[in-house]
Amino acid sequence: MNKRGKIFIAEMIGTFVLVLGGCGSAVLAGDKIGYLGVSIAFGLSLLVMVYTIGGISGCHINPAVTIGLVFGQKVNKELVPLYILAQIIGAVIGGGILYLIASGKPGFDISAGFATNGYGNHSPGGYGLIAAAIAEIVLTAVFLFVIMGTTHPKFPSSFTGISVGLMLALAHLVGIPVTNTSVNPARSIGVAIFQGGWALGQLWLFIVAPLIGAILGVYAYKLIKPEYL
């Protein structure tokens, strides 16, 4: 298999694992493990995938990360469609598998949310559109800021997975009460298409805001980036 094919499969599987692990913990066990447990699940899902597929695709598993890294001159822009298509397909497969599992429980009600992202009446804490947009932009910006720093040649690469995994967990600890935390358009798409209805109506925010945040985070890091030796 050529390099592009390997990248596609790696990103598809990685995003599948992120959705199944993160969103799955919220849907199947959220009432038992709470926000802290769900946050850890998202962080762990990313952490293990960084060490599993990082050497193949860089383990973006997030369109916002891919777009951000293009602006950070770490990814060839010609590969962007490949990355994003693989991420969305993986997320949808993850959402589909999760739906098949969750719907096996009597009384399952997908209208309750299905780990989708929302604002207003669909925010866990009742936060409005502006608050949700600010949260998603800022949290994604910080996430990309960390990614840029921990993929710099001067940073020990063996710790990159731990750093970005913990940052994703932190982003969820802050953002779950506000939007259920997206910071990842693919993750949002993967479950929204199964919930349908209001989730699809509000999906635009969780595509646009993370992309804006990713670009801001990259440029913020560029302001302080250490010079190469």
CATH code assigned at 206: 1.20.1080.10
Residue 132 within a domain: yes
Prediction pTM value: 0.94
Q: What digits encode the pLDDT tens for the residues 99-150?
A: 999 999 998 888 878 999 999 999 999 999 999 999 999 999 999 999 999 9
CB atoms under 10 Å from CB of 3, counted, come to 10
CA angle 115, 8, 212 (to 5 degrees): 55
Residue 192 within a domain: yes
Q: How far apart are CA 47 and CA 196, in angstroms?
A: 30
Residue 229 within a domain: no
**Which structural domain, as residue segments, surrounds residue 161?**
3-224
Number of domains comprising the chain: 1
Q: What digits encode the pLDDT tens for the residues 150-190?
A: 987 776 667 888 999 999 999 999 999 999 999 999 999 99
Helices (H), the chain: 3-18, 24-57, 63-71, 80-102, 129-150, 160-179, 185-195, 197-202, 205-224
